[in-house]
Structure 1
């Protein structure tokens, strides 16, 4: 099972995991996950709500002010509490729960980039120089261990695309228009990388998961549309893809 960018909407993530029979009432892996029969992949970007309305929902405030230190503290604390739950969930089945490093997660760790949205929202809650607070060290260490891609045979999971350059969130990454448009402009990248199938996030898909069977990839930043991706792999251990579908929940 693969789940799209979280962006601090943990309520929806837990709902998706429950619908997929991957988490129990105590926020722990179900027996199929613990046994490794179900594999869970979260595609990255755990932090930073996508808009002011989502920040208000996260903090319980009628209106979120991105420049109010008290509002930022609430946003940071509530995200950290949910990250602790997710960390415990993964720790209970590390062989079966995989979380990839997204660019927003990386930005919280390295502090080199202040990310925001086209609407003017700026993510400051984990920036102590601009009114926020540092993410707790144990969570920073946990996130720092996230891989930048996962491969199961010739099936790839990565936050942005099949391109190795898109796994490094540096100046070139943020100046590169293709990080958001490659799947429409150059979908042949998946075949060129020698992959049987690719699963990616980073770019919000408004109508739900984009499943491109011709070019053999899925764009799954679609938790807001209440969909996750289900992949059936062969039993031979070589990652042979047998079936793939978008699942509403």
Structure 2
């Protein structure tokens, strides 16, 4: 029996991520994997979107400025530098237990690798700190290679972890993805996608759930973009069986 611990979209809030990993006994005070992670008994899943703070306030906190200005190259430099520092620490954490720490490629991570798309927030913040064409910095090569290796989904038997949904089209962040409203709505409008995909359970992020993890037992899915609400998901899994899920619960920290 393995324990899977799934954590929602980070969006550069690395302090909260490390707090969650420590609370889950997955990381120690030095940001290294704990013994159960190193042994593979705990499987850590990050659901994607490591980069890009969610709003201007979080950008200001990250960059250490009173008010963040995305048009100011110095502010972009500070935001990029801080994220690079934290990404380095997260890479070292995964490198210490690559068999047990898994990171899915989110659309914001993909936008750092593919700068054809300039993403933004409903509040008007644009994410250009890693876009040289808009005054930002290029992600360092070794981090770029690391991110390029992130999978778009993880499956354990009929249990799926993906950034957006069970739909293959939602794992490719192209023009159609950004023009479509369904990536943000599918779990309310068409949750039967999980059953149609032949899954026993699906775990997804991408859409922030204000009240914490959304656990829909009827439709066998969880939406876990909930680090801001200080919650993560814990699943007990037997990988030897076709239907591997034994229990699932949300955990506050």
- In the alignment, does 2:195 pair up with 1:182? no
* Stretches of structure 2 lacking an aligned partner (at least 5 in a row): none
- Of 244, 247, 251 in structure 2, the residue corresponding to residue 247 of structure 1 is 251
Distance 2:239 2:91 in 1: 28
In the other structure, the counterpart of 2:43 is 39
In the other structure, the counterpart of 1:70 is 74
Taking structure 2 as the reference length, the TM-score comes to 0.97
Distance 1:74 1:127 in 2: 14
In the other structure, the counterpart of 1:118 is 122
Distance 2:42 2:54 in 1: 29
Distance 2:242 2:14 in 1: 32
**Moved segments of 4+, more than 6 Å:** none
In the other structure, the counterpart of 1:130 is 134
Q: What SS does the aligned partner of 1:47 have?
A: coil
In the other structure, the counterpart of 1:27 is 31
Q: Any idea what the Cα deviations from partners look like across 1:21-52, whole Å, max 9, x if unmatched? A: 00011111000000000000000000000000
Deviation at 1:202, TM superposition (A): 0.2
Distance 1:55 1:103 in 2: 19
In the other structure, the counterpart of 2:112 is 108
* Stretches of structure 1 lacking an aligned partner (at least 5 in a row): none
- Kept in 1, the 8 Å contact 2:157–2:239? The answer is no
Distance 1:80 1:200 in 2: 25
Aligned residue pair count? 249
Distance 1:158 1:239 in 2: 18
Distance 1:200 1:219 in 2: 5
Deviation at 1:58, TM superposition (A): 0.6
In the other structure, the counterpart of 1:169 is 173
- Cα RMSD between the aligned structures? 0.8
Deviation at 1:234, TM superposition (A): 2.1
Deviation at 1:118, TM superposition (A): 1.1
Which range moves more in the overlay, 151-160 or 227-236?
227-236
In the other structure, the counterpart of 1:217 is 221
Distance 1:36 1:197 in 2: 21
- Kept in 2, the 8 Å contact 1:152–1:239? The answer is no
In the other structure, the counterpart of 2:162 is 158
- Kept in 1, the 8 Å contact 2:70–2:125? The answer is yes
